[in-house]
Amino acid sequence: MGDPLKIGIIGGGGWLGGAIARAMLNAIVVEPRTLSLSYRRERPTCFPDAFWTTDNQTLADRSDVIVLSVRPADWPSLAVDAQGKLVISVMAGITLTALSDHHKTDRVVRALPNAAAEVSKSYTPWIATNETQEKDRAIVRAIFNACGAQDEVQSERDIDYLTGLTGSGPAFPALLAAAMMKDAVAHGLPSEVAQRAVNAVLIGAGRLLEARDENPRVTVETFLRYAGTTAAAMDAMRSAGFDSAVAAGLEAAFKKSVEMGTLS
């Protein structure tokens, strides 16, 4: 047996960093004693057996794998020398070349998990530099399988597009749920009843799609063929611009991801 894998998460006190840490610990990808996390202000109370620090270079020095989980706007001031180690960025927009130059390593991965990592239901696309080794890729797969599901994609353009499609995670269903709940309350339903009803719809839909593992279009077409109340609702939503609104949102997210990379 080799030495236990030592993983450090810069930004481990944040929502996403903490979610990744919890998923890795639950899947035994890393042990508490070999997990390092950094925070900026008040030390979090979670993961008491892990190593906590405010010094990001200290975290990097004691880790085999360094996960960067900070706001892209805060990244340029993150002066961390990775010394050739594996660096995994979960920041939107920051390119492989920029990461490699900034942190002094050729072994770099860009990954885009989402907030559903908290319940091990994130979808994570990722891409690696040519210098990233197969054993590095195995580590990346293990980390993000612990968070849900993962795919290695072929280009950074794929990552930039998926930043909006999957990186937004629960935000888009939550936006739909908020609109549905607002309408339900406007029609006189008590807020607590509307919330339970709407949340149950989205939870049930997610579990059904997961269990059936089919193209969502098949589900849509099934309801349309039935020509009942659901079909009437979907026809009205589409006539009001539902499909084009979704496309516009994804395009805006894609452009923002590319823009963030050019400003880094």
Instruction: Tell me if 260 sits within 8 A of 92, measured CB to CB.
Output: yes
Residues 6+ apart with CB under 8 A from 132: 86, 106, 107, 108, 109
Q: What integer pLDDT is reported at residue 168 of this predicted model?
A: 86
Is residue 16 one of the residues assigned to a domain? yes
Mark whether 216 and 236 lie in a shared domain.
Answer: yes
Q: Residue 246 belongs to what domain range?
A: 171-262
Q: What integer pLDDT is reported at residue 24 of this predicted model?
A: 97
Mark whether 46 and 155 lie in a shared domain.
Answer: yes
Is residue 49 one of the residues assigned to a domain? yes
Mark whether 184 and 257 lie in a shared domain.
Answer: yes
Mark whether 127 and 17 lie in a shared domain.
Answer: yes
Mark whether 153 and 195 lie in a shared domain.
Answer: no
Is residue 2 one of the residues assigned to a domain? no
**Element housing 218 (H / E):** helix 216-226
Domain count, the chain: 2
Mark whether 61 and 131 lie in a shared domain.
Answer: yes
Q: What percent of the chain has pLDDT over 70?
A: 98
Q: What integer pLDDT is reported at residue 263 of this predicted model?
A: 61
Mark whether 68 and 130 lie in a shared domain.
Answer: yes
Give pLDDT tens digits for 36-83.
Answer: 999 998 999 999 999 999 999 999 999 999 999 999 999 999 999 999
In the chain, helix, strand, coil percent, each to 5? Answer: 55, 15, 30
- Inform me whether the pLDDT recorded for 264 exceeds 90: no
d(CA 243, CA 231): 15
d(CA 256, CA 175): 19
End position of a domain, from candidates 140, 162, 184: 162
End position of a domain, from candidates 133, 162, 191: 162
Strand 35-38 and strand 51-53: the pairing is parallel
Mark whether 204 and 158 lie in a shared domain.
Answer: no
Instruction: Tell me if 122 sits within 8 A of 109, measured CB to CB.
Output: no
pTM for the predicted model, two decimal places: 0.87
CATH code (residue 185) = 1.10.3730.10
Q: What integer pLDDT is reported at residue 81 of this predicted model?
A: 98
Q: What integer pLDDT is reported at residue 3 of this predicted model?
A: 84
Banded pLDDT at 29 (limits 50, 70, 90): very high
Mark whether 41 and 110 lie in a shared domain.
Answer: yes
Is residue 143 one of the residues assigned to a domain? yes
Is residue 192 one of the residues assigned to a domain? yes
Is residue 132 one of the residues assigned to a domain? yes
Mark whether 99 and 215 lie in a shared domain.
Answer: no
Is residue 57 one of the residues assigned to a domain? yes
d(CA 10, CA 256): 23
Banded pLDDT at 257 (limits 50, 70, 90): confident
Mark whether 222 and 106 lie in a shared domain.
Answer: no
End position of a domain, from candidates 162, 180, 199: 162
Mark whether 17 and 131 lie in a shared domain.
Answer: yes
Banded pLDDT at 33 (limits 50, 70, 90): very high
d(CA 111, CA 65): 14
CATH code (residue 82) = 3.40.50.720
Is residue 1 one of the residues assigned to a domain? no
Q: What integer pLDDT is reported at residue 15 of this predicted model?
A: 92
Average pLDDT of every residue of the chain: 94
Beta-sheet strand order (sheet of 148-152)? 51-53, 35-38, 7-10, 65-68, 86-89, 108-111, 122-128, 148-152
